[in-house]
Chains A and B, each alone.
Chain A
């Protein structure tokens, strides 16, 4: 089992460019999450999907969109990248919403110039 996989591992964008971060899990989990990690800020939830077919905003959704393509895949899109979106992005999954362990992917380091 690969667990949670993310692509790409690194990305450099110019301001205004768009891109999609891909995430897939092979644990048959219902819930999936996108976080961003910034120094001194911890991990902040961008969007989550409690189950296939549903998505909801987290703490910092502005500038992002998501798609729960199927039970395995959850993508994060930046339509018009801004330098403030320079961060490390983590995807995670859990069996269901609530008090369950979240399994994190290896992260995508994004730089917007």
Chain B
């Protein structure tokens, strides 16, 4: 059972454009929603994270939008750059259920120059 569903599976964006990746979850006990970035041949690394008590969090060109009622959250990458080309994973966890991260399927982003 996939508790976190991520789309699209792949995304091609022109340099300077906006990249948008979406995730939906089922478990209303989730209370932590991070995004991880993974470059080829490397392990994932935390990019940005949000708690459900806020609807948006911004760090530089990266923004998480969170919709608790719809059980959805998304990553927006503004002014996308070729160096942003990577695989992005959303994830969710619940502290009361052990704090284990449940990952989405991943989105392979390619930013064309």
Contacts and interface: CB of A to CB of B under 8 A. Distances in A.
A42 B43 contact: no
22 contacts: A33-B100, A40-B9, A42-B6, A43-B89, A45-B102, A48-B100, A50-B98, A50-B99, A58-B100, A92-B43, A97-B98, A98-B95, A99-B49, A99-B93, A99-B95, A101-B34, A102-B101, A104-B43, A104-B44, A104-B45, A106-B41, A107-B43
A98 B101 CA distance: 8
Contacts of B93: 98-99
Interface of B: 4, 6, 9, 31-32, 34, 41-46, 49, 51, 89, 93, 95, 98-106
A56 B89 CA distance: 23
Contacts of B44: 43, 90, 104
Contact of A42 (B34, B46, B99, B106): B106
Given A104-B44, A107-B43, A42 B104 contact: yes
A42 B95 contact: no
A64 to B, nearest CB: 16
Interface of A: 4, 31, 33, 40-45, 48, 50, 56, 58-59, 90, 92, 96-99, 101-107
Contacts of A105: 43
Contact of A43 (B51, B99, B103): B103
B105 A41 contact: yes
A23 to B, nearest CB: 11
A106 B89 contact: no
Nearest to A106: B43
A40 to B, nearest CB: 6
Contacts of A4: 43
Nearest to A40: B105
Nearest to B46: A101
Contacts of B6: 42
Nearest to A91: B43
Contacts of B49: 99, 101
B101 A45 contact: yes
A58 to B, nearest CB: 6
Contacts of B102: 45, 59
